[in-house]
Amino acid sequence: MESTHEPQQGGYKKIDIAQLLHTHKPGIARFVPKWLVRALSRLLHVDELNGFLEAHYMDEPFQFIHEAGKFLELSLQVTGEDRLAQYVDKRSILVANHPLGGPESLLLMELAGKYSPQAKMISRTVVADALVPIAPLLIPIPTPENHALAHTFKQAFKGDDPIVLFPAGYCSRPLSNGILFDYVWFSTFVKMAKRYGRPIVPVHIDGSNSTKFYRLSSLRRHLGIKASLESLYLIDEMFKQRGKVVTMTVGYPIDPAVLDDSESDEAWADKIRSHVYLLGKDPQAHFDPRKAPVLPLK
């Protein structure tokens, strides 16, 4: 994917909303008034983000992640950290729910890196474009038009480095019953665990965004709008997390041999997703392959 930021004299890629519009939406960019560009810049905290990027663009990857956590004033409380310490370096795949849509990714990567500096994370290409210092830690999600990314993706799972991923690919939303829940998990992690004999380490992350964010999401879906308009607020939501404690629960590893052909990859992904939510209530829970998912699938 083409970079979404222009290199600046300071040596980092400065976020510029007007430039983003001209690069990705040239057909409408000239019709967007300057007041709206300024409003978007405030909503996306562009000045604060550019200040942080300029100060830390030369950091080593895990140092950058650590400084980002300090910048956001986040702290982490972990249950079952000993399990992660024991298994992270055994070609594990760490899978977690995605309640916040951003900061928890950095916190889980820092936790994994504490025990394995070789840890990598599956991510959208745009993240590597925006956060250049951590690009060496990221494995881009393949796209149909980029065969090189698909090869890199497969080689990463074939290798030995631990891999962190969020199978929802989309931050959690409340369902009609009020449960904050990841929508259907993509089953790629199951396929790769089976193919390359990688244990799966489930991680539950506690947290939520604002009521305003979820109301906008519900309204958008009620109106039949497919584009996730509320995602524009995710950076603002990230700043609202300042000063909070994020709680993670690391479960016991799941042997890939358990994931046999008695179920489809999608069914196994549903069961593991359900197990992750169970960990939030019972940190000692073991994965039971016979147990049907107890949470709704959609």
Helix (H, G, I), strand (E, B) or coil at 141: coil
> Per-residue confidence at 184, pLDDT binned at 50, 70, 90?
confident
pLDDT, average across residues 72-93? 95
> Which tokens belong to 112?
């994994």
Give this prediction's pTM. 0.89
**Is residue 235 a contact partner of residue 99, using CB atoms and an 8 Å limit?**
no
In a domain, 298, yes or no: no
Look at residue 169 in the predicted model and tell me its pLDDT: 83
> Per-residue confidence at 1, pLDDT binned at 50, 70, 90?
very low
Look at residue 153 and tell me whether its pLDDT is greater than 80: yes
Q: Does residue 54 sit in the same domain as residue 78?
A: no
**Distance separating alpha carbons of residues 145 and 148, to the nearest angstrom:** 9
Structural domain tally of the chain?
2
Q: Which residues contact 25 (CB under 8 A, 6 or more apart)?
A: none
> Which tokens belong to 161?
């480095």
Q: Which residues contact 272 (CB under 8 A, 6 or more apart)?
A: 95, 185, 190, 200, 202, 254, 287
In a domain, 64, yes or no: no
Beta-strand runs (E) in 131-231 = 138-140, 163-165, 173-174, 180-181, 200-205
Look at residue 124 in the predicted model and tell me its pLDDT: 86
Look at residue 7 and tell me whether its pLDDT is greater than 70: no
Look at residue 73 in the predicted model and tell me its pLDDT: 95
User: Percentage of the chain with pLDDT > 90?
Assistant: 70
In a domain, 288, yes or no: no
What is the domain extent for residue 26?
1-58
Q: Are strands 93-96 and 120-123 parallel, antiparallel or unpaired?
A: unpaired
Instruction: Residue 241: give its domain's CATH number.
Output: 3.40.1130.10
Q: Does residue 191 sit in the same domain as residue 229?
A: yes
Q: Does residue 207 sit in the same domain as residue 112?
A: yes
Look at residue 30 in the predicted model and tell me its pLDDT: 85
In the numeric block, the tokens 């550019």 are attached to 50
Please identify, among 31, 58, 85, the residue that sits at the C-terminal boundary of a domain: 58
Q: Does residue 14 sit in the same domain as residue 138?
A: no
pLDDT, average across residues 169-193? 88
Q: Which of 126, 190, 164, 182 is nearest to 296 (CA)?
A: 182
Q: Does residue 10 sit in the same domain as residue 107?
A: no
Summary mean pLDDT of the chain: 90
Q: Does residue 18 sit in the same domain as residue 96?
A: no
Look at residue 9 in the predicted model and tell me its pLDDT: 41
Look at residue 2 and tell me whether its pLDDT is greater than 70: no
Look at residue 8 and tell me whether its pLDDT is greater than 50: no
In a domain, 133, yes or no: yes
> Which tokens belong to 192?
């790769």
Q: Does residue 234 sit in the same domain as residue 108?
A: yes
Q: Does residue 88 sit in the same domain as residue 51?
A: no
Look at residue 106 in the predicted model and tell me its pLDDT: 94
Q: Computed over its alpha carbons, how large is the radius of gyration of the chain?
A: 19
Q: Does residue 43 sit in the same domain as residue 91?
A: no
With b for 16 or more beta-carbon neighbours within 10 A and e for fewer, the 2-25 pattern comes to eebbeeeeeebbbbbbeebbeeee
In a domain, 250, yes or no: yes
In a domain, 63, yes or no: no
Question: Torsion angle, CA of 213/242/77/178, rounded to 10 degrees?
Answer: -20
pLDDT, average across residues 244-256? 97
In a domain, 131, yes or no: yes
Look at residue 177 and tell me whether its pLDDT is greater than 80: no
Q: Does residue 86 sit in the same domain as residue 42?
A: no
More confident residue, 176 or 192: 192
Q: Does residue 48 sit in the same domain as residue 77?
A: no
Look at residue 12 and tell me whether its pLDDT is greater than 80: no
Q: Does residue 144 sit in the same domain as residue 210?
A: yes
Q: Which of 95, 128, 106, 98 is nearest to 62 (CA)?
A: 106
